[in-house]
Structures are given as structure tokens and as C-alpha cells.
């Protein structure tokens, strides 16, 4: 009870402190590992498009490259996305990766075309609340980031900057989805660590983000652990 009261008081105080910077509804991060060469992926891609409309979800599509050999090279595939998915699998003690897979807040893995299971996990993490107050604002090519951890929150955390393409429609010429015209949403173009933080003191940083693509800032436990906070930056 004491811990809950203390966290509530801390959130109220930091809300006033950061009122001039971007914030809003706490976001549950949904990462979809997908491929244009995967016939099971279009329903998951469509689900992600719906999730992206929600104010409480940061929905991100990470296109992997390990299905490119079966007839169609995914134009958004990035080996870094495959590496990230493999790192999640290792952290969870799993030996295989697959598409479509959704990772919820860095902690829960679920088949990406099962909307009821995805919704249940989103609800679970939304109810957990956040122990990091994260704010970010953008001025031109500069993104100002500020974060503060709840009392007692320790451990190494990675501050990450994500850039994404809001939407794109692709005509698939070959492979399992040949002949289909598919629309993708929030396609990750880069996912870069910008700093490490241990939460012992408030964190501030100015990161560079050239171009007009939207951005998001994500704070995650080191070692592909749980995502502790996320914010969109328009």
C-alpha cells in the first residue's frame, strides 16, 4: 500500500514538473515482426493498422529478412529487425523465431494474428501503469528527452529513438502473397539506442532526428527486457 501511494504521489509531482513537454496517455508498445513474403502476415498487418489508431498503443512494424529467399524480397526488410527478434527469443529462452509475431511491451510474445490474445495482453500492460515518467518534444531536427524514475526503480535501461514511416501500400509481385496489394502501418526505418540510464537521477538528452518521419522514444530494460516507458514525438 505504501509503495502504491508513493508511486501515485511521484506521478502527480512529475506530471506538474514536465507539463510543458510532450506526454499524454501512457503507451503500450506493440512490435509486429512481419514479412511481405509471409502468407500468414496480412491479418496481423491489418490488426497493427487498427492498433495504430489507438491513443494508448504505440504500434510498430518491423519487417524481417529471413523470408526473402522464398520468392519476394520485402522492400522494408532490415537485418537489424531480425537481430532484434532473435535477441528477444534468446532473452525469453526460446530457440525459434517466426512471423507474424507481436511483442507487447518487450515482455509478452504472441502470434500476431490472434486479436483476442493481443488485446488481453495490451490490457494487462495498460493496467500495470508506468514507473518512468518520460517526456519528449521536437523542434526542427532536435528531440529533447527528459525522464524520471519512480523511487526505488533500479537497473540499467536503454533509451532508444525510433523512426517510422506512417503508411505505405505495396503490390507484391511474387512469393506467397503474389498479386496482392497490401498496406502497412508505422514501418520502422531505424531503431537506435541513444543513451544508457540507471534511473538514479533525472535524465535529459537532446537527440538528432533529421527529416520529416515521425519518431518515438522508448525506454527499455537492458538485455531486451521490459519496456518501461514510451512516447510519440510528432
Of the candidates 130, 152, 177, the one whose C-alpha atom is nearest the C-alpha of residue 24 is 130
Compute the average pLDDT of residues 121-142: 94
Return phi, psi of residue 116, to 5°.
-65, -40
Confidence of residue 98 (pLDDT cuts 50, 70, 90): very high
Cell of 19: 507539463
Question: How many Cβ atoms are within 10 Å of 55's Cβ, its own excluded?
Answer: 8
The C-alpha cell 496480412 sits at 42
Query: What pLDDT does residue 16 have?
Result: 39
**Treating both helix axes as pointing N-terminal to C-terminal, what angle do 42-51 and 115-128 enclose, rounded to 10 degrees?**
30
Lowest mean pLDDT of 12-21, 56-65, 168-177, 203-212, name the range.
12-21
β-strands 142-149, 101-104 pairing: unpaired
Q: Is CATH 2.40.50.140 correct for 2-233?
A: no
Cis amide bond preceding 100, omega within 30: yes
Query: What pLDDT does residue 11 have?
Result: 38
> Domain limits of the chain?
2-233
Query: What pLDDT does residue 25 have?
Result: 78
Of the candidates 175, 220, 217, the one whose C-alpha atom is nearest the C-alpha of residue 58 is 217
Instruction: Tell me the whole-structure pTM to 2 decimals.
Output: 0.90
Compute the average pLDDT of residues 76-91: 98
- Cα–Cα distances in angstroms (integers) from residue 123 to residues 116, 129, 181, in the given order: 11, 11, 32
Amino acid at each position: 500500500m505504501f509503495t502504491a501511494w508513493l508511486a501515485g504521489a511521484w506521478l502527480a509531482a512529475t506530471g506538474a514538473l514536465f507539463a510543458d513537454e510532450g506526454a499524454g496517455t501512457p503507451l503500450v508498445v506493440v512490435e509486429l515482426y512481419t514479412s511481405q513474403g509471409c502468407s500468414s502476415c496480412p491479418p496481423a498487418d491489418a490488426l497493427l493498422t487498427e492498433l495504430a489508431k489507438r491513443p494508448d498503443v504505440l504500434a510498430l512494424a518491423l519487417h524481417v529478412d529471413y523470408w526473402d529467399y522464398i520468392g519476394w524480397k520485402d522492400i522494408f526488410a532490415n537485418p537489424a529487425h531480425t537481430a532484434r527478434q532473435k535477441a528477444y527469443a534468446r532473452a525469453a529462452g526460446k530457440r525459434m523465431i517466426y512471423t507474424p509475431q507481436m511483442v507487447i511491451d518487450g515482455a509478452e510474445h504472441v502470434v500476431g494474428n490472434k486479436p483476442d490474445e493481443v488485446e488481453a495482453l495490451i490490457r494487462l500492460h495498460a493496467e500495470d501503469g508506468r514507473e518512468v515518467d518520460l517526456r519528449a518534444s521536437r523542434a526542427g531536427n532536435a528531440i529533447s528527452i527528459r525522464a524520471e524514475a519512480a523511487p526505488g526503480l533500479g537497473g540499467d535501461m536503454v533509451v532508444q529513438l525510433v523512426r517510422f514511416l506512417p503508411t505505405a501500400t505495396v503490390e507484391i509481385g511474387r512469393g506467397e502473397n503474389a498479386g496482392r496489394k497490401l498496406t502497412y502501418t508505422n514501418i520502422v526505418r531505424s531503431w537506435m539506442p541513444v543513451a544508457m540510464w540507471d534511473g538514479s537521477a533525472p535524465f535529459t538528452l537532446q537527440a538528432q532526428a533529421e527529416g520529416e518521419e515521425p519518431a518515438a522514444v522508448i525506454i527499455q530494460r537492458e538485455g531486451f527486457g521490459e519496456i518501461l516507458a514510451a512516447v510519440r514525438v510528432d
